[in-house]
């Protein structure tokens, strides 16, 4: 009796948590998309400056400035290089979120190097229920799997207890 109630409670809790994961992925995608757009705008401005001053591209301008005698020019070039590198990483992330499957998106989102981004997204996250079939299907399957994994030790202990009682009677 208590085992069945525990089983149902664990499944319900797992389902509620699992329903939030697709929504969190969607929020993360929106956050990443906005950051990408802002960074792209900045790199486009670097590109315009590079063209205006006769450089082939942004990378050529950065390379030239990295070897400048003035420390502030080198520091600015390093900052620009970090921004260009960030844009490349954000572009890879967007590709994952636009073309990947939910587990790929979750692995990207949960990577330790990007955990600070997840913390930013979670601050503005509002729980809800996903309105698309893949999100609902994922939540149900995840909840079932988690339920089985969490209840399995209790069922094994219960089976051992029953088999010991049977041996004691027989």
Q: Inform me whether the pLDDT recorded for 105 exceeds 70.
A: yes
Question: Residues 29-61, buried b or exposed e (16+ Cβ, 10 A)?
Answer: bebbeebbeebeeebeebbeebeeeebeebeeb
Q: pLDDT tier at 152 (50, 70, 90 boundaries)?
A: confident
Query: What tens digit of pLDDT does each residue of 121-139 get?
Result: 999 888 887 777 777 777 7
Confidence class for position 107, pLDDT limits 50, 70, 90: very high
- Structure token pair of residue 129: 């229920």
Domain boundaries, the chain: 2-169
pLDDT in tens, 53-97: 999 999 999 999 999 999 999 999 999 999 999 999 999 999 999
DSSP 8-state symbol, 110: T
Banded pLDDT at 2 (limits 50, 70, 90): low
Give the predicted TM-score (pTM) of the model. Answer: 0.73
Q: How confident is the model at residue 166 (pLDDT cuts 50, 70, 90)?
A: low
Question: Any residues with CB less than 8 A from the CB of 14 and at least 6 apart, and which?
Answer: 142, 143, 146, 147, 150
Give the model's pLDDT for residue 1.
Answer: 58
């Amino acid at each position: 009796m208590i085992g069945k109630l525990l089983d149902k409670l664990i499944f319900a809790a797992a389902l509620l948590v699992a329903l939030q994961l697709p929504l969190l992925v969607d929020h993360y995608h929106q956050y990443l998309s906005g950051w990408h757009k802002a960074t792209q705008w900045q790199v486009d401005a670097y590109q315009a400056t590079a063209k205006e001053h006769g450089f082939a591209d942004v990378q050529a301008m950065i390379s030239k400035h990295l070897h400048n005698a003035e420390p502030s020019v080198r520091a600015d070039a390093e900052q620009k290089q970090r921004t260009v590198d960030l844009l490349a990483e954000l572009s890879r992330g967007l590709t994952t979120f636009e073309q990947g499957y939910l587990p790929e998106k979750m692995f990207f989102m949960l990577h330790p190097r990007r955990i600070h981004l997840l913390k930013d997204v979670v601050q503005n996250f509002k729980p809800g229920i996903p309105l698309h079939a893949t999100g609902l299907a994922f939540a149900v399957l995840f909840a079932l799997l988690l339920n089985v994994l969490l209840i399995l030790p209790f069922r094994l202990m219960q089976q051992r207890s029953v088999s010991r009682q049977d041996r004691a009677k027989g």
